[in-house]
Copies of this chain bind each other. A is one copy, B any other.
Amino acid sequence: MIHKDHPRYESLKLRAMVVDAYKRGILADSGMIAHGRGEAFDYLLGEKTSNNAKKAVKAAAAALILAENPVISVNGNTTALVPREIVKLAKEIQCKIEINLFYRTPERISAIEKVFKDVCAENVLGNDHEEKESIKGLEGPRSSSSKEGIYIADVVLVPLEDGDRAEELVKLGKLLITIDLNPLSRTAKTASITIVDNIVRAIPNLIEAIQELKGADPSTLHQIIESFNNNENIQESLIKISKKYTGVEQ
């Protein structure tokens, strides 16, 4: 349908994947709109991975390698765009995948579970049959966390997370890694490590960084995390976008 030589080919391909996922019941209405917000921010980033996103990816890779109980939290948009890559990442760090939905329905949980099973995921948590623990400070289905998953995790990778939930996870002492195209979002500001990039570039970059750092000794990995300053990194993203806006730098 979309020609490869279309100047917006990559962006239109992702849009088609999101629309398709919506029609298959994987995304909520707001997931379609959220994708549009992401398009706008990615456009402002020049649709490229910035150097500061690469720095954040490196810190995230170190944290995931050092983690005792890492968990990847997935929602509809993540499932629509990078299910295979999420499974590959989970295998790379031997971690669990947990489904967490802001607009949680049994139908969407099943549809997402099916996508991950179809791409050979092991350990997909978050369905309605398993034991749950409520996250303090959150109400309704949003507060749900798997007793074997996020509830006991020390490091949680949550791409595209809602701000309230991100805040509560950090309060519980978890090292929170997020991927968010909006460097001003509450989640971006709350997380321990924020990768300001499109998830379709960030997850493969993360896999590559983990493969590179896997052999490193723990003290090197600790040092990578300690030398990373999330606020400074976000500020660099803001300046980059601002330059694009005012035409100082393309």
| A interface residues with partner B (beta carbon < 8 Å) | 15, 18-19, 22, 29-30, 32-41, 43, 182, 184, 238-239, 241-243, 245-247
The listed residue (B33, B182, B246) touching A15 by CB distance below 8 A is B33
Residues of B within 8 A of A238 (CB): 245-247
18 A–B contacts, CB within 8 A, in A order? A15-B30, A19-B29, A29-B32, A32-B32, A32-B36, A33-B33, A36-B39, A37-B40, A37-B43, A38-B40, A39-B40, A40-B182, A43-B184, A184-B245, A238-B247, A241-B245, A242-B245, A242-B246
| Distance between Cα atoms of A184 and B36 in the complex (Å) | 16
- A23 to chain B: closest residue by CB: B29
| Distance between Cα atoms of A15 and B182 in the complex (Å) | 18
Residues of B within 8 A of A243 (CB): 242
| Distance between Cα atoms of A30 and B18 in the complex (Å) | 10
Residues of B within 8 A of A37 (CB): 36-37, 39-40, 43
Residues of B within 8 A of A29 (CB): 19, 22, 32
Main secondary structure, interface of A, reads: helix
Q: How far is the CB of A111 from chain B (nearest CB, A)?
A: 18
- A39 to chain B: closest residue by CB: B37
Residues of B within 8 A of A36 (CB): 32-40
| Distance between Cα atoms of A19 and B37 in the complex (Å) | 15
Residues of B within 8 A of A40 (CB): 36-41, 182
Are B30's CB and A33's CB within 8 A? no
Residues of B within 8 A of A39 (CB): 33, 36-37, 40
Residues of B within 8 A of A182 (CB): 40, 43
- A185 to chain B: closest residue by CB: B43
Q: How far is the CB of A236 from chain B (nearest CB, A)?
A: 11
- A247 to chain B: closest residue by CB: B238
| Distance between Cα atoms of A122 and B134 in the complex (Å) | 55
| Distance between Cα atoms of A185 and B239 in the complex (Å) | 20
Q: How far is the CB of A38 from chain B (nearest CB, A)?
A: 7
Most B CB within 10 A of own CB, among A15, A18, A22, A29: A29
Q: How far is the CB of A75 from chain B (nearest CB, A)?
A: 15
